[in-house]
Chain A
Amino acid sequence: MLRPVKMSRVVVAGSKNVISPVVEKLHELCLLHIVNYNGSQPQFEMGKPIGKAKEYSEDLIKLRSVTRYLELNKKFPDKAYPESQVLSEMDNLLNNVGADVTATYERIVAIDAEVKSKQDQIRALTPLAVLPLPLESYYGYDSLATFVGTAASPVDADVARVSPVNEIYSGSAKNATFVAVFVPADKAGEVSSVLSEHGFSEMSVPRLEGNVDSAIATLEGSIKSLEGEKVPLQKKLVDMKKQYEDLMLATDEYLSMQTHKTEAPLRFAETANAFVIDGYVPADQFGRLKSELESAAGGKLEVSLIADNEADELAEKGEDIPTQMDNPSLVKPYELVTRMFAIPEYKEFDPSLLIFVFFPIMFGMILGDIGYGVMAFLTMVLLKKKFKTPGWQQLINVVLISSVWAVIFGIFFGEIFGPLGLWSKVMGHLPEHEIEAVKAAGLYFGEGVFGSLGRIGFWPGIDIFPLDRLASNAVLLLIGTSVIIGIIHCSVGSILGIKTELAYGEKKHAYFEKLPVLLIQVFFGLLVLGLVIGQMMLVIASAIVIVVAMVMLVMGPEGPMGLAHMPFYVSNLISYLRLLAIGLASVGLAFAANQLAFYVVMPMLSGGATNSAEFTIPAIIAGLVVLFAVHFINFLLGILSPFMHPLRLHYVEMFTKFYSNHGGGVEYSPFGHVRRFLKA
């Protein structure tokens, strides 16, 4: 479980005559992680695509353009199609439906363009309404030059100076003066320079006829009819999307599979008559791969296993052995957390199981509230129905399992939407004489621990007394608990680090870099414990071990520089205080919400009433609104922080002790396809 699946290095060699059935079989088996041939051997060349590779990819491109017009996205399949149905409907889909979609889409684009150009014309026409001229009089002259535009000051006098023969119309609208100047063509240059002195800027006049208002009305009418034409077209696209969505995605899948298969030989090595495939297969699947492939090829094929030591040599030369994480289904979701950091190398540990153990406990310890835990659980159950892609499902399962722990810790902390909130109303307070009894039994830990809160009796004699996290003794207890969790967490990381280094044959790194860190962590914890309980012998012994460990670090591969990491390891342990700290923040907010609603808002709005029976209805409603708002915010934060911070504790504090010192691994991705829209 902590180790990836054992892989075997295999070589498949066969006659080119059987390449198609072999590829088909490989694809169906979905077992072999192919190592791409890099062309390094002179006697082999890279393979060429087989069969109808070109047609499949052309069809795929055609289909993809149609799906883009329909705005199809990858989604969870509603139904799966048999391959025969996809094949029989593909021609119709690609040609008739495809052409229809394309034509409809292009028409919509054309309409949009036309509407836009008409809107531009309307924008250009609107100012002309202030000039008393029909539109046809602005253009079509041989001997006249026309200037239409806005001017900053009256132009009449100056234009008349350079061109005595002229016609000038002007009008103003929206703080601008519009002028239309008509002069003989041979005066155009001079008039233009005169106009520019008046801040003239020219406008283009659309080549239309009639008066401006009626032209605008005509344009608006045609825009309306174009928009009217567009609506049914858009509806048609939506309908077609609904009708063909699954079939199109199934066809996409079919064509992708086919191109994948026909282009597979590009990854093989070939000679004139034979082909060779290098790859990895899970060790226990080798027999199956061999027999299936050999029977598919009718004996014209050899599947051989490469001995482990030779495979190691290949790995040393830079070939990546693929990693397939191997975890029971309960732990599977936590592979997501591992993957987000890095895929472990083949020889490294797969930390998913450790994350499964530690992550939910940390999440629970931070959130630690029955109310929030149950809400998180229900929210995740709802989301699980909504988001069905594997990534989301994994993420949701991670939080789902964690929220169970939040409820468990909620029982220990005695919190239902905050401490002393609903809890004391539900469970009541512990009577004074029982506190005395607990004290007499030597179980009394101090105020707030087995304090005034109620208790859950499971069966006579064994009760759970909740811990009030805001009480000072509880804070001290939780500081200790957090650091102890940190020491255990980091130590597990260090132990894995030692084993990883040994697996890579790096003894010096294992014993003089990782081992001292393990010692420092454990004995730092014992040293602090010794100080707290006042056992000086323990303190001295721990200090001696820490000094020895520091000497070992100096002797290690980094020399005295190794000591420079010491503050990092100690601060790693202190970092676990966030388990307490973030929890406290969340409790604090929940506590504040309850106080605010029941002891501030409700009494104040009821005119200073002190008894809950005197609260007025509006005051109760306002109080409840405040209560829900603050609790809702706290709930959102309460999902985010308890998720992110344990994640960080794993990535920074734990993983750095053992993980990915040698670079990330390659995930096992066998040649084949997981069918989603197609029936097998």
Chain B
Amino acid sequence: MAVVADAGTLYGLLAVGAGLATGLAGIGAGMGEQGIGAAVVGVVAEEPGFLGKGLFLMLLPETLIIFGLAVSLILMFAWTPFSGIVTP
């Protein structure tokens, strides 16, 4: 049985995929950051001068979201196989 998808369905699936890419990456980064955040707060309580370095350590896992977002952007804007269908 052949499944025939129209342009709207494909575009919808693309959007869902893009959303999952950013969303799941965000969850992953958040899980990474929770441990770092707790540790940084602990260190800063002992030594306030560590705040700068601590904040910066907190940002390390945020790269993950950027990767997810990059995938989303590519899906939404730069995925040529579908771009012909996507234009409304």
Instruction: With both chains docked as a complex, state the minimum distance between the C-beta of A255 and any C-beta of chain B, in angstroms.
Output: 26
Question: Do the beta carbons of A577 and B70 come within 8 Å of each other?
Answer: yes
User: With contacts A340-B52, A577-B66 known, is A476 near B59, CB below 8 A?
Assistant: no
Question: Do the beta carbons of A574 and B56 come within 8 Å of each other?
Answer: no
- Asked if B62 is an interface residue, CB under 8 A from chain A, the answer is yes
> Quick one: which of A475, A574, A578, A652 contacts B60, CB cutoff 8 A?
A652
Query: Complex: how many Å from CA A575 to CA B59?
Result: 12
> Quick one: which of B59, B69, B77 contacts A581, CB cutoff 8 A?
B69
Query: Complex: how many Å from CA A574 to CA B25?
Result: 15
- Asked if A300 is an interface residue, CB under 8 A from chain B, the answer is no
- Asked if A648 is an interface residue, CB under 8 A from chain B, the answer is yes
Query: Complex: how many Å from CA A575 to CA B73?
Result: 14
In this complex, the interface size class of chain B, counting residues with CB under 8 Å from chain A, is 10 to 19
Question: Do the beta carbons of B77 and A571 come within 8 Å of each other?
Answer: no
- Asked if A647 is an interface residue, CB under 8 A from chain B, the answer is yes
- Asked if A479 is an interface residue, CB under 8 A from chain B, the answer is yes
Question: Do the beta carbons of B52 and A645 come within 8 Å of each other?
Answer: no
Question: Do the beta carbons of B67 and A578 come within 8 Å of each other?
Answer: no
User: With contacts A472-B76, A476-B78 known, is A578 near B56, CB below 8 A?
Assistant: no
Question: Do the beta carbons of B78 and A571 come within 8 Å of each other?
Answer: no
Which residues in A have their C-beta under 8 angstroms from that of B76? 472
Question: Do the beta carbons of B59 and A571 come within 8 Å of each other?
Answer: no
Which residues in A have their C-beta under 8 angstroms from that of B55? 644
- Asked if A651 is an interface residue, CB under 8 A from chain B, the answer is yes
Which residues in B have their C-beta under 8 angstroms from that of A574? 63, 66-67, 70
Instruction: With both chains docked as a complex, state the minimum distance between the C-beta of A586 and any C-beta of chain B, in angstroms.
Output: 13
Which residues in A have their C-beta under 8 angstroms from that of B77? 472, 475-476
Question: Do the beta carbons of A645 and B70 come within 8 Å of each other?
Answer: no
Query: Complex: how many Å from CA A474 to CA B83?
Result: 16
Instruction: With both chains docked as a complex, state the minimum distance between the C-beta of A654 and any C-beta of chain B, in angstroms.
Output: 13
Query: Complex: how many Å from CA A645 to CA B56?
Result: 8
Question: Do the beta carbons of B67 and A648 come within 8 Å of each other?
Answer: no
Interface of A is mostly: helix
Question: Do the beta carbons of A571 and B67 come within 8 Å of each other?
Answer: yes
User: With contacts A571-B63, A571-B67, A575-B63 known, is A479 near B73, CB below 8 A?
Assistant: yes
Within 8-65 of B, Cβ neighbours of A (below 8 Å) are at 52-53, 55-56, 59-60, 62-63, 65
Query: Complex: how many Å from CA A3 to CA B56?
Result: 25
Question: Do the beta carbons of A340 and B59 come within 8 Å of each other?
Answer: no
Query: Complex: how many Å from CA A410 to CA B53?
Result: 30
Instruction: With both chains docked as a complex, state the minimum distance between the C-beta of B53 and any C-beta of chain A, in angstroms.
Output: 7
* Residue of A340, A574, A577, A581 ringed by the most chain B CB atoms within 10 A: A581
Mark each residue of chain A from 476 to 496: 1 if its CB lies under 8 Å from any CB of chain B, else 0.
100100000000000000000
Question: Do the beta carbons of A577 and B69 come within 8 Å of each other?
Answer: yes
Instruction: With both chains docked as a complex, state the minimum distance between the C-beta of A120 and any C-beta of chain B, in angstroms.
Output: 33
Query: Complex: how many Å from CA A581 to CA B52?
Result: 23
> Quick one: which of A472, A479, A577, A651 contacts B56, CB cutoff 8 A?
A651
Query: Complex: how many Å from CA A651 to CA B78?
Result: 30
Which residues in B have their C-beta under 8 angstroms from that of A479? 70, 73, 78
Mark each residue of chain A from 637 to 657: 1 if its CB lies under 8 Å from any CB of chain B, else 0.
000000011011001100000
User: With contacts A472-B76, A472-B77 known, is A575 near B56, CB below 8 A?
Assistant: no
Query: Complex: how many Å from CA A475 to CA B60?
Result: 24
User: With contacts A340-B53, A476-B78, A651-B56 known, is A578 near B73, CB below 8 A?
Assistant: no
Question: Do the beta carbons of A475 and B56 come within 8 Å of each other?
Answer: no
Question: Do the beta carbons of A644 and B63 come within 8 Å of each other?
Answer: no
Which residues in A have their C-beta under 8 angstroms from that of B67? 571, 574
User: With contacts A475-B73, A644-B55, A651-B56 known, is A578 near B78, CB below 8 A?
Assistant: no
Which residues in A have their C-beta under 8 angstroms from that of B78? 476, 479
Instruction: With both chains docked as a complex, state the minimum distance between the C-beta of B83 and any C-beta of chain A, in angstroms.
Output: 9
Which residues in B have their C-beta under 8 angstroms from that of A475? 73, 77
Mark each residue of chain A from 649 to 679: 1 if its CB lies under 8 Å from any CB of chain B, else 0.
0011000000000000000000000000000
Which residues from chain B sit less than 8 Å from chain A, CB to CB?
52-53, 55-56, 59-60, 62-63, 65-67, 69-70, 73, 76-78
Closest 5 CB pairs of A and B: A340-B52, A648-B59, A472-B77, A581-B69, A578-B66
Listed A/B pairs (14) with beta-carbon separation below 8 Å: A475-B73, A475-B77, A479-B73, A577-B66, A578-B62, A578-B63, A580-B73, A581-B65, A581-B69, A581-B70, A645-B59, A645-B62, A648-B59, A648-B62
Which residues from chain A sit less than 8 Å from chain B, CB to CB?
340-341, 472, 475-476, 479, 571, 574-575, 577-578, 580-581, 644-645, 647-648, 651-652
